[in-house]
Amino acid sequence: MTAYVIVEIEVTDPVGYEEYKKLAGATVEKYGGKYLVRGGKTEVLEGDWKPKRIVILQFESIERAKEWLNCEDYREPRKMRHQTARTHMLVVEGV
């Protein structure tokens, strides 16, 4: 079943984060993922949520999304993301 990785990101080091983005995309593609949302304009419709940046990735399954997140190719970019941004991430199955 299709899975979606949803990430809320607050970039703390814009220059470093740009370097992260250059590396991360290839790893997503290698694991069959694709970007559906990558930091576009957001507007809160209900509640008091104040996201800075939202990224949504699509994978063929939750298992494949987790393989990507934990793969060797993404190890260094993931460290870069942790150093340049604060993130909340979840994966959810689609319909």
Query: Any idea which of 11-15, 39-43, 55-59 has the lowest mean pLDDT?
Result: 39-43
**Which pairs with CB-CB distance under 8 Å and at least 24 residues apart come from 29-38?**
30/68, 30/71, 30/73, 31/59, 31/64, 31/65, 31/67, 31/68, 31/71, 32/59, 32/60, 32/64, 33/5, 33/57, 33/58, 33/59, 33/64, 33/65, 33/68, 34/58, 36/4
Q: pTM above 0.85?
A: yes
* Per-residue DSSP letter, 1: -
pLDDT at 74: 98
Percent with pLDDT over 70 in the chain: 100
pLDDT at 95: 84
